[in-house]
Amino acid sequence: MSSLIATIKLREVATNQAIQAQVFDGIDQTHLSNWKTKWVPVVQATEARLLAQGAPASVYPQSAHWDWNKKTTAFQNLLSYRMFAVTCAHDTQGLMAVATDVVMHPSRLPDDKGRRALGLVYIDFLEAAPWNRPEHVQPPRYRGVGSVLIATAIQLSLDEGFKGRIGLHSLPQSEDFYRNIVRMNDLGPDTSYPGSFPLRYFEFTTAEAQAFIQGGKP
Amino acid sequence: MSTKRTMTLNLTDAEMAVLEAMAEAKDLTKTGVLRQALRLYQLIDVRIARGEKIFVENGLTKEKAELAIL
Q: Does residue A164 or residue B53 have the better pLDDT? A: A164
DSSP symbols for chain A: --EEEEEEEEEETTTTEEEEEEEEES--HHHHHHIIIIIHHHHHHHHHHHHHHT--GGGS-TTTT--HHHHHHHHTT-TTEEEEEEEETTEEEEEEEEE--TTTSB--S--TTS--S-B-EEEEEEEE-GGGSTTTSSS-SEE-HHHHHHHHHHHHHHHTTSTT-EEEEEPGGGHHIIIIIS--EEEEE-TTSSSSSPPEEEEE-HHHHHHHHHHS--
Interchain proximity B28–A155, CB inside 8 Å: no
What are the average pLDDT values for consecutive 10-residue runs of chain A, which has 218 residues? Answer: 94 96 97 97 96 93 95 94 97 98 93 93 98 94 97 97 97 96 96 83 97 76
Interchain proximity B29–A161, CB inside 8 Å: yes
Interchain proximity B36–A103, CB inside 8 Å: yes
Number of domain units in chain B: 1
CB contacts, 8 Å: A102 with chain B: 26, 28, 36
Which CATH number applies to A3-215? 3.40.630.30
- Residues of chain B above pLDDT 90, percent: 69
Q: How confident is the model at residue B1 (pLDDT cuts 50, 70, 90)?
A: low
- Contact pairs from chain A to chain B, CB under 8 Å: 47
Domain encompassing residue B33: 13-66
Q: Does residue B21 lie in a domain region?
A: yes
Res A216: pLDDT = 54
At CB < 8 Å, which residues of chain A contact B?
Answer: 5, 25, 78-80, 100-103, 111, 115, 117-119, 155-156, 159-161, 163
> Which pLDDT tens digit goes with each residue over B17-33?
999 999 999 999 999 99
Show me where the domains of chain A are located: 3-215
Interchain proximity B29–A156, CB inside 8 Å: no
Q: Does residue B26 lie in a domain region?
A: yes
Q: Does residue B42 lie in a domain region?
A: yes
pTM confidence score:
0.93
Q: How confident is the model at residue B55 (pLDDT cuts 50, 70, 90)?
A: confident
ipTM for the whole complex: 0.84
